[in-house]
Structure 1
C-alpha cells in the first residue's frame, strides 16, 4: 500500500515517519520509456511489475528512474514536441508510480538528461530553439521557459490511477533537476531548484554530476540533496564527498555507481558504515522479458537478479549487492523468497516461459499421458540463462506433449508448478 508520509530533511539527514531514513536500491531508468525491446516503446506492465518486484526481493526501498520525468523529442515521450504533452506516455508513468507506491518503494525522478539518448535530453531543448549547442539549454530563455513548463506539467499531474497529484504523492522521494548535469551553472541550478520548490513544498530537490562533487552548488538553499555518480564505485571518494556534503548541511547520495569492476567489498562496507551516506543506487536493473529470458542491455553494468550462469564472478557480485541493500537500511539480510509459478508461453519446438522473480534455476518436466502425468524431468534445476534453448530432446512429435515448469531460488528451494501446457503434434 502507499506510504502515507513524505521523506523529509533535517540538516544532512533524511527522515521518514519521524525516524532517520537510509536507502539503497537500483536505477531502473526505462520505467517510463524503454529502448531495449525492439525499438523505443513504453515498457509492458509485466516488465514494470517484474522489475519493481525484483527490486523488492533484492532489498530496495528506493528506485531512481530517468524516464518517469526525463522524456523529450520522441513520439512516445512525455513531451514529443515543444509544449505538447503525450497523455498516453503520462498514463504509463501513472502506472509505474502507482505500482511503486503499492510496494512501499520511494522514487527519485530526474526532469532531463545531460546526454542525447533515445529519451532526449538538454540538446533536444536546444534544437527546439534552433541551436546545436547543448550548453544553450542553460542560456536561452526559450529553453529555460520550456523546461519550466515541462516541470510544472509533471509536478501538477494528477495520477489517473490514484487521483493523487504528483506533488502530493509521498511515493516520490525527490525531484532531481536532471541526470548528470555535469556543467550546469550554479545560477541556473538555483533558479530551477527555486522554481520546483515554488510549485511543490512537499518534495526534496536533488542535483548531481559524474565523478565528483559539484561543490559550487553546496550553498544553494533550495537544494536538499547532492548526488554523485562514480564509475567504478570508490570507497575513499564516497566517504570524503559525503562528509563534505554533510559539513555543508546537505544530504549526500550516490545516485549511480559502477559495481562490476569496483573494489566492491570495500565500497559497500564504507557506504554502510559511513552515516553521512544517505543512500546508494546501483546501475542498473533489468527484468525478465515478455517472451522469456531476461531483457538485455549491453553497457556492462546490467543486473539481472539473481544472475545467469555465464559469469560466476558477476553472479557473486550481484549477490553482494542484495546483501548491501538490506544492510544499508539497517536490516538483517533475510533468506531468499520462494519463487512464484512461471507461465509457459509456448512449447512448439523449444519451450518458452516467463521467468519469475528470484528464479535462479528452473526444472522442466514433460508427460505424454496427459495433465496428470506421470512426469519425466527434461531439465533439472537448469540455470536461468537467457540464451540457452529449452528444447526437449526426447520429444515425440507425432503425439501431444504436456509440460510444466517450476523455479528454484538461490538456495535451491522450489516454488509451485506452472499451469500445464499442452503442445500438439507438429513437424519439426
Structure 2
C-alpha cells in the first residue's frame, strides 16, 4: 500500500546515489538515472542510506554519532530529486558485508570502546553495537531534508526502511539471533517513525521453522542464520523480501539449472508470502552477471522476462508478489564500479525495453489516485 491504495513496486537498485550526490559535480549522474526511471515507468528505487567508518570513501557516519554533513546533503538531494519525479525510495540502513563499512565497522567501533567481540556476528547481540545502530536509525529518521525542509519520518517519497542489506548470522543457524534482532530493531524503527513501512532486507533462505521448505534453498550452506518465514512473521515487519542470484549461489551449474532454481525459488516464496505470512513479497534484487558463463545481453533479457513473468502472474491473480527491483543501474562514466550485474540503459536498449514493458504491465493494476 502507498497513500492508502494498492501499489506495486517496479524499478531497480542504484546503491550509489547518495555517494555520487555528495559531490555536486557528480549529481548529474543521479538526475540522469532518476529521469530514466521516470521515463521507463519505474515506481521504486532501492539505495543505501549508509556509509560507515573512516575506511569508507566519503563516509556518512565517520565515527559513532559523528556524521559528514556533505554526504547527508547528498542523500537529501537524492530524496528531493526522486520526489520531483514521483519515485519512491527504499532506504537501507546498514550493510551485512564489509563494503561501505557494514556490521564489521560497528563491531570495530565497539572493540575500540573496550568490548570483547569474537566475530562480526556479535553485531546482532552486543549491547553497544545495537545502541550505535539505534542511534543511526534515529539520526536518519529524524533528519530534516535541506532541500525540501521535510523530516525523513514525514517524507512520503520514502517507501520503506530496510534494516540491513542481506543480513546473515552464520554463527547461529537456528535463526533465533536474527529473530531477536529483527524484532527489536523493527520495533524501534516503528517507535521513531510509525508512518513508514519496515522490511528486513533478507535474501529469503528458509530456516528451522520450516525444515520441509529448506529443499528450496540453493544448498546446505545457505540457511545463513536466517529464517524466511519466522523472521518475516514479526508484526513490525510490513513486507517480506527475497533476492535471486543463482549464478552466485550455484557456481558451476548450468544456465538451465539456474533458471529452474529461480522458478522454484520464486514460486515457493510467493506461496509462503500468501499462505504462511499473509504479507506482500518484494523481489528486492535479481540479476544476471556478465561474468557468468554463457552470458549475453539477450540471455540477461530473457532472465529478466522470466522473473517478471512470475511477478506478473502473481499480480494478475491478486497474489502477494508486489513487484521486483533488478540489480542494478549505473550511469555512464562509472565503469570502474562494475560488478558484472550493472545495466547502463544507454548501452542496453533491449534491457530498457524489457523493464519498460514490465512497468507498463504492472502499472495497469495500480488504481489511479
Q: TM-score, normalised by structure 1?
A: 0.66
Residue 24 of structure 1 corresponds to 10
Residue 127 of structure 1 corresponds to 108
Q: Could you list the per-position Cα deviations for residues 319-350 of structure 1 after superposition, in whole angstroms to 9, with x for gaps in the alignment?
A: 31232222222279xxxxxxxxxxxxxxxxxx
Alpha-carbon separation, structure 2, partners of 1:24 and 1:43: 29
Within 5 Å, which residues of 2 pair with 1:293-308?
295-307=335-347
Residue 87 of structure 2 corresponds to 105
Residue 26 of structure 2 corresponds to 44
Alpha-carbon separation, structure 2, partners of 1:165 and 1:18: 20
Shift in CA distance, 96/264, structure 1 to aligned 2, threshold 3 Å: closer
Residue 287 of structure 1 corresponds to 331
Mean Cα deviation higher: 219-228 or 238-247: 238-247
Alpha-carbon separation, structure 1, partners of 2:127 and 2:25: 34
Residue 226 of structure 1 corresponds to 240
Alignment coverage as a number of residue pairs:
301
Residue 253 of structure 2 corresponds to none
The offset of 1:296, in angstroms, is 4.9
Within 5 Å, which residues of 2 pair with 1:324-363?
324-330=358-364
Match of 2:187 among 189, 194, 201: 194
Residue 277 of structure 1 corresponds to 321
Residue 9 of structure 1 corresponds to none
Within 5 Å, which residues of 2 pair with 1:22-421?
22-34=8-20, 44-66=26-48, 69-73=49-53, 74=56, 76-117=58-99, 119-130=100-111, 131=117, 133-183=119-169, 185-210=178-203, 212=205, 214-232=228-246, 234-247=262-275, 248-259=277-288, 261=300, 263-275=303-315, 276-289=320-333, 295-307=335-347, 316-330=350-364
Q: Are the counterparts in 2 of residues 126 and 132 from structure 1 also a CA contact under 8 Å?
A: no
Alpha-carbon separation, structure 1, partners of 2:66 and 2:133: 12
Mean Cα deviation higher: 53-62 or 225-234: 225-234
Alpha-carbon separation, structure 2, partners of 1:147 and 1:175: 14
Mean Cα deviation higher: 242-251 or 47-56: 242-251
Alpha-carbon separation, structure 2, partners of 1:240 and 1:42: 45
Shift in CA distance, 43/114, structure 1 to aligned 2, threshold 3 Å: farther
5+ residue gaps in structure 2? 112-116, 170-176, 207-227, 247-258, 290-299
Alpha-carbon separation, structure 2, partners of 1:209 and 1:75: 26
Alpha-carbon separation, structure 2, partners of 1:138 and 1:43: 38
The offset of 1:266, in angstroms, is 2.6
Shift in CA distance, 175/326, structure 1 to aligned 2, threshold 3 Å: same
Shift in CA distance, 70/88, structure 1 to aligned 2, threshold 3 Å: same
Structure scoring higher RCO (CA < 8 A, sep ≥ 6) equals 2
Shift in CA distance, 100/185, structure 1 to aligned 2, threshold 3 Å: same
Q: Could you list the per-position Cα deviations for residues 177-234 of structure 1 after superposition, in whole angstroms to 9, with x for gaps in the alignment?
A: 0100133610110000000000001000001322535222132110001111001472
Q: Are the counterparts in 2 of residues 239 and 274 from structure 1 also a CA contact under 8 Å?
A: no
Higher helix share: 2
Structure 1 runs (4+) greater than 6 angstroms displaced: 40-43
Q: Cα RMSD over matched residues?
A: 2.4
Higher strand share: 1
Aligned with 2:355: secondary structure?
helix
5+ residue gaps in structure 1? 1-14, 309-314, 333-428
Aligned with 1:32: secondary structure?
helix
The offset of 1:95, in angstroms, is 0.6
Alpha-carbon separation, structure 2, partners of 1:230 and 1:211: 9
Please identify the structure whose Cα radius of gyration is greater: 1
Q: Are the counterparts in 1 of residues 88 and 157 from structure 2 also a CA contact under 8 Å?
A: yes
Q: TM-score, normalised by structure 2?
A: 0.76
Q: Could you list the per-position Cα deviations for residues 94-129 of structure 1 after superposition, in whole angstroms to 9, with x for gaps in the alignment?
A: 111000011000000010001001x21011000111
Alpha-carbon separation, structure 1, partners of 2:336 and 2:144: 33
